[in-house]
Structure 1
Amino acid sequence: MSSSDLHPNGRLVNIGTHNLALYSHGLSPSSPNDPVVVFISGVASDALNWQAVVRQLSPSVRTYTYDRSGYRNSESSPLAPSAENIALELSLMLEKAPISNPLILVGHSWAGILIQEFIGMKGTAQIAGLVLVDANHETAPLVMNVNDPILWNEIAAGIDAYSAWGVRSEHKMTPEEWDAFEAAESTDKYKLIAHKEDVEQYSQSFETLRMKELSKRQPLLGNKPVYVIAGTRSRDWTGLYNAGVAKGNGSEEERRHVKEMIATVDEKNAGLMREFLKLSTKSELVFATKSGHFVQLFQPEIVIEGVKWVLNKRTVSA
């Protein structure tokens, strides 16, 4: 693929071993001191899950989305898609692009791990602030099991997750954006890299990060603004439970197990989100009560408010 094959706002960035697809949105910054926004997707996700957010953000804000190695318009990497390697490739892309402005990093789900790996590798000098969208905290697997086998292998067996979660019916993308999103996830290329990330790398990435003990260096970002958004995890799991029960899935004991999980997951997740507040002396936590885990699909306006909050707090500090 060449840059001419991409959407007009996209280009290929050579990071030395292969090319990554980078997409620009909004006006170019007028000064090297103006912050820019970089969106980082969660596990098994490409740039397209940010479409509704990017479309509704003010065009005066310069934003970037990108496809990680192996997704959509990016080439495959010779490296395994570990959180450390993904953070390395992100840093190389920013360097080669080049993007040297202060960065507001907006990350969903696994990007909570990716961003902290990036910070551990590059430090915080270029970071202007963070927006964490129901992000994964390094201690999350010690608190709740989002890959619980009874939930997924028994209760949710044969269930289409996007339908059960309400994503298909309630997402805020345009029809064209949703078609592109679905088309990308239906390809063999997507399925290959999604499996490598989700099955081969995801679980171990939490312990790898914990061993670096970044949490002992709080506030890691000093007074740089951090906006934390908590999704309503029980919404997703209830959708899976109801769809599974309607299909006749699960024994009574298995159903009881999942109902107990649902009853406690939001409190557990809120506790994890509060841990992120320690990253900065200037932090805020909001709850996306009408969203499951994919807040950017259900309530993109909350993500946009987070970006505005960070920009405002940064301006006040300056």
Structure 2
Amino acid sequence: MTSSIGATNTGEPRGGIDVGKYHVDMVSTGSGPYTVIFESGFASPLGVWQKVAPEIAKSARTVIYSRAGIGQSDARPEPRLPQRYSVELDQLIEAAQLKPPFILVGHSYGGYLIRLFAARHPDQVAGMVFVDPSMERFDAELNKVDAAKLAQDHRRIDALTPPQFKAESKLLDHALATAGKMPPPKLPDVPAIILTSTMVRPNPEFFMHTQPAVAVWRNLHDQLFRQFSSGSHIVTANSGHNIHLEEPALVIGAIQQVMASATVLAERRAHQIKVDSLMRTFDQAATMLKNQRSAEVEQLVAAALTASGLSERDINSLGYAVLNERRQLAMSTLIMKYNSDTFPESANAHDSYGELLLEMRQPAAAKEQFLQAVALGGKGNNAKALEAFRSNLAKAEKAILAQ
């Protein structure tokens, strides 16, 4: 699959940033929790993202740029190898003071480049979008299908490649062939979407555009997607290789979905960090309880829970986790007490605290909590919950009579 080889710049005034002694044509707009970096296909300037980037910039910082020697970016003397481009992206990020978390979007060859970056900086990457990405094993697999037709494709592509990009094209072919014999770069397990074109033209000029080749292309993308546990592989027959130009809404939607998924994942991780920290505090507090320091423990638990900012429902779940996983009844009771004190309008908080007081053989105190749960529950429409509160109240009254 070939990119739009030799695409020209968009005629925009020279802008961007100086990275060392070289100028890089770059446009950065928008703001938000993510920095979305776009990597173009082979020899393609930043303008190819003009149908996608503006929409993404409404909710994130976007960065589109032309690699060295493309568009209005200065050429550089180093051989144009994938690893070199990855280093130059590092330099651009530093010079432009771009801040992670990054969402990486790569088309064609750019899809391979964002894999190299993500493998080197997994902690900086929050999500990835591959737009019909180049795969290093594509030629090797096509060679098994029809070596002669593949060789003919290479001759035709070489004839179409502008003179200034011929040397880089040969370097790229060699680099991908070498990479195809090695294990693929290990990528961070982040939300990812792969967009694959399966369009088959009626009379394809290139072997790589025929049905057998497209099937190989799709299978390689399937293999790439298996590296991720969250995301989707979207197949389209409505556009060719340049999906971002022919179906920009598909690319926009993919980026937005990855950002949303990355946000959910980040929230889950932040929540788990809070829970882990609280559990360590509770373990410390449990030791203090054994040493008869109950007043200090209650203050410690209350301070930790207040600082966590967890919801009533989360604290309730945490209390039961301490009870069921750590078998710490007294500690769990303190957590539920905090919850009922902090959220006095929650029938569930009072009911849960009452249940643990009953376990602690304090039926009179438990009854008070169940009475509040019943009173609050009667204001709602959850008949099943109200029935459970009343059942617990009956248990407390029975336990009182049995004393």
SS of structure 1 residue aligned to 2:106: strand
Q: How far apart, CA to CA, are the structure 1 residues paired with 2:89 and 2:158?
A: 35
Alignment partner of 2:205 out of 234, 240, 262? 240
Contact 2:136–2:177, Cα closer than 8 Å, also in 1: yes
Kindly provide the CA deviation profile for residues 161-199 of structure 1, in whole angstroms up to 9, marking residues without a partner as x. 8xxxxxxxxxxxxxxxxxxxxxxxxxxxx945432322x
Q: Which residue number in structure 2 is paired with residue 194 of structure 1?
A: 165
Q: How far apart, CA to CA, are the structure 2 residues paired with 1:214 and 1:82?
A: 17
Q: Which residue number in structure 2 is paired with residue 18 of structure 1?
A: 22
Q: How far apart, CA to CA, are the structure 2 residues paired with 1:13 and 1:288?
A: 39
Contact 1:23–1:65, Cα closer than 8 Å, also in 2: yes
Going from structure 1 to structure 2, the CA distance change for 1:44 and 1:285 (only over 3 Å counts) comes to same
Q: How far apart, CA to CA, are the structure 2 residues paired with 1:118 and 1:152?
A: 27
Displacement after TM superposition at 1:151 (Å): 4.4
Contact 1:139–1:206, Cα closer than 8 Å, also in 2: yes
> What is the 5 A alignment of 1:166-181?
none
Alignment partner of 2:196 out of 219, 230, 233? 230
Going from structure 1 to structure 2, the CA distance change for 1:152 and 1:307 (only over 3 Å counts) comes to same
Contact 1:45–1:194, Cα closer than 8 Å, also in 2: no
Displacement after TM superposition at 1:212 (Å): 5.5
Aligned residues: 252
Kindly provide the CA deviation profile for residues 220-255 of structure 1, in whole angstroms up to 9, marking residues without a partner as x. 312x101000012523x83537xxxxxxxxxxxxxx
Going from structure 1 to structure 2, the CA distance change for 1:81 and 1:149 (only over 3 Å counts) comes to same
Q: Which residue number in structure 2 is paired with residue 271 of structure 1?
A: 219
Structure 1: which amino acid aligns with 2:31?
A: S
Displacement after TM superposition at 1:18 (Å): 1.6
Q: Which residue number in structure 2 is paired with residue 206 of structure 1?
A: 176
Q: How far apart, CA to CA, are the structure 1 residues paired with 2:71 and 2:211?
A: 37
Q: How far apart, CA to CA, are the structure 2 residues paired with 1:135 and 1:81?
A: 19
Displacement after TM superposition at 1:142 (Å): 1.5
Which is richer in helix? Answer: 2
Structure 2: which amino acid aligns with 1:221?
A: P
Contact 2:231–2:258, Cα closer than 8 Å, also in 1: no
Displacement after TM superposition at 1:157 (Å): 11
Q: Which residue number in structure 2 is paired with residue 307 of structure 1?
A: 255
Contact 2:108–2:133, Cα closer than 8 Å, also in 1: yes
SS of structure 2 residue aligned to 1:43: coil
What TM-score does the superposition give when structure 1 sets the normalisation length? 0.70
Q: Which residue number in structure 1 is paired with residue 31 of structure 2?
A: 28
Q: How far apart, CA to CA, are the structure 2 residues paired with 1:234 and 1:62?
A: 36
Q: Which residue number in structure 2 is paired with residue 50 of structure 1?
A: 49
> What is the 5 A alignment of 1:104-183?
104-120=103-119, 122-144=120-142, 148-151=150-153
Contact 1:288–1:299, Cα closer than 8 Å, also in 2: no
Instruction: Extract unaligned runs of 5+ from structure 2.
Output: 1-10, 268-403
Displacement after TM superposition at 1:288 (Å): 1.9
Going from structure 1 to structure 2, the CA distance change for 1:157 and 1:64 (only over 3 Å counts) comes to closer
Contact 1:43–1:202, Cα closer than 8 Å, also in 2: no
SS of structure 1 residue aligned to 2:244: helix
Contact 1:53–1:303, Cα closer than 8 Å, also in 2: yes
Going from structure 1 to structure 2, the CA distance change for 1:226 and 1:95 (only over 3 Å counts) comes to same
SS of structure 2 residue aligned to 1:290: coil
Going from structure 1 to structure 2, the CA distance change for 1:279 and 1:193 (only over 3 Å counts) comes to farther
Contact 2:35–2:61, Cα closer than 8 Å, also in 1: yes
> What is the 5 A alignment of 1:272-291?
272-291=220-239
SS of structure 2 residue aligned to 1:84: helix
Q: How far apart, CA to CA, are the structure 2 residues paired with 1:58 and 1:97?
A: 17
Contact 1:6–1:73, Cα closer than 8 Å, also in 2: no
Q: Which residue number in structure 2 is paired with residue 221 of structure 1?
A: 188
Q: How far apart, CA to CA, are the structure 1 residues paired with 2:178 and 2:127?
A: 24
Q: How far apart, CA to CA, are the structure 2 residues paired with 1:150 and 1:272?
A: 22
What TM-score does the superposition give when structure 2 sets the normalisation length? 0.56
Contact 2:44–2:71, Cα closer than 8 Å, also in 1: no
Larger relative contact order (CA 8 Å, sep ≥ 6): 1
Going from structure 1 to structure 2, the CA distance change for 1:211 and 1:266 (only over 3 Å counts) comes to closer
Q: How far apart, CA to CA, are the structure 2 residues paired with 1:100 and 1:157?
A: 38
Going from structure 1 to structure 2, the CA distance change for 1:62 and 1:114 (only over 3 Å counts) comes to same
Going from structure 1 to structure 2, the CA distance change for 1:281 and 1:87 (only over 3 Å counts) comes to same
Q: How far apart, CA to CA, are the structure 2 residues paired with 1:153 and 1:212?
A: 26
Displacement after TM superposition at 1:69 (Å): 0.2
Displacement after TM superposition at 1:207 (Å): 3.4
Going from structure 1 to structure 2, the CA distance change for 1:290 and 1:6 (only over 3 Å counts) comes to closer
